[in-house]
Copies of this chain bind each other. A is one copy, B any other.
Amino acid sequence: MTTTVLLVDDHPVVRSGLRAVLDTDTVHVVGEAATGEEAVTLAAHLHPDVVLCDLRLGAGIDGIQTTAALRALDPAPAVLILTTFDRDAEILGAIEAGAAGYLLKDVAPEVIIEGIHRAAGGDMFLAPDLAGRVLQGMRNPLPRLTERELEVLRLMSTGAANKDIARTLFVTEATVKSHIAHIFTKLDVDSRSRAIHLAQETGLI
């Protein structure tokens, strides 16, 4: 029995590649979308078994938001994330949003096909090298930063000084320092550059 698949990627070349590689006797590509919005519309009409979705989709909503929207459809397709990046926060975010699996783009085509069938069957499918990381990520979850703290962290990462951040957020420097102190405690670091580095590594920002 063939599994129907909808491709979502903002690069035409990648879509062609996936179509060429996936369209076999067990997998049938029924559509392609370049954006998350388009993906949701198409999925609502085509009812694919599986949506194969990139995380980075250029402008518009990202892969995680797309996943959530797709999972809210009825019937909901299984969503398989296929992307180049392996930042922890994104993987966790995709899983939380209801993705059935997460694959890196450098895997062999057969692995993607296997993942599609597993996803269609209701299984979870994680690239082997990611599985351990994800489990550890769930055991050692990154502390949840508040929205305000994330704002400060993002500004910090652009090189803004406390004074700049204070001006941008219309608060005093004391408040910024307070937020930063909390951020440091939560991330278990003791300098802004380390915080920035950690945040970028884990995909927190």
Determine if A16 and B20 form an interchain contact, defined as CB atoms under 8 angstroms apart: yes
Q: Contact flags (1/0) for A180-205 with B, using CB distance below 8 Å?
A: 00000000010111111110000000
Determine if B18 and A197 form an interchain contact, defined as CB atoms under 8 angstroms apart: no
Give the contact stretch, choosing among A65-73, A117-125, A156-164: A156-164
Interface centre among A17, A19, A198 (most CB of B within 10 A): A17
Q: Does A148 contact B (CB under 8 A)?
A: no
Q: Does A10 contact B (CB under 8 A)?
A: yes
Assuming the contacts A105-B11, A106-B11, A106-B58, asked whether A157 and B16 have C-beta atoms less than 8 A apart, the reply is no
Give the residues from 17 to 33 in chain A that come closer than 8 angstroms, CB to CB, to chain B: 17-21
Of the residues B109, B160, B191, B196, contact of A13 by C-beta under 8 Å? B109
- Copies in the assembly, this chain: 2
- Whole-angstrom CA separation of A58 from B86 in the bound complex: 13
Q: Contact flags (1/0) for A142-180 with B, using CB distance below 8 Å?
A: 000000000000001111110000000000000000000
- Whole-angstrom CA separation of A57 from B109 in the bound complex: 18
Q: Does A46 contact B (CB under 8 A)?
A: no
Assuming the contacts A58-B106, A159-B194, A159-B197, asked whether A14 and B14 have C-beta atoms less than 8 A apart, the reply is yes
Please, could you name 28 A-B residue pairs with CB atoms under 8 Å apart, sorted by A?
A10-B106, A11-B106, A12-B106, A13-B14, A13-B18, A13-B105, A13-B109, A13-B112, A14-B14, A14-B105, A16-B16, A16-B20, A16-B21, A16-B109, A17-B18, A20-B20, A156-B193, A157-B193, A158-B193, A158-B197, A159-B189, A159-B191, A159-B194, A159-B195, A159-B196, A159-B197, A161-B193, A193-B193
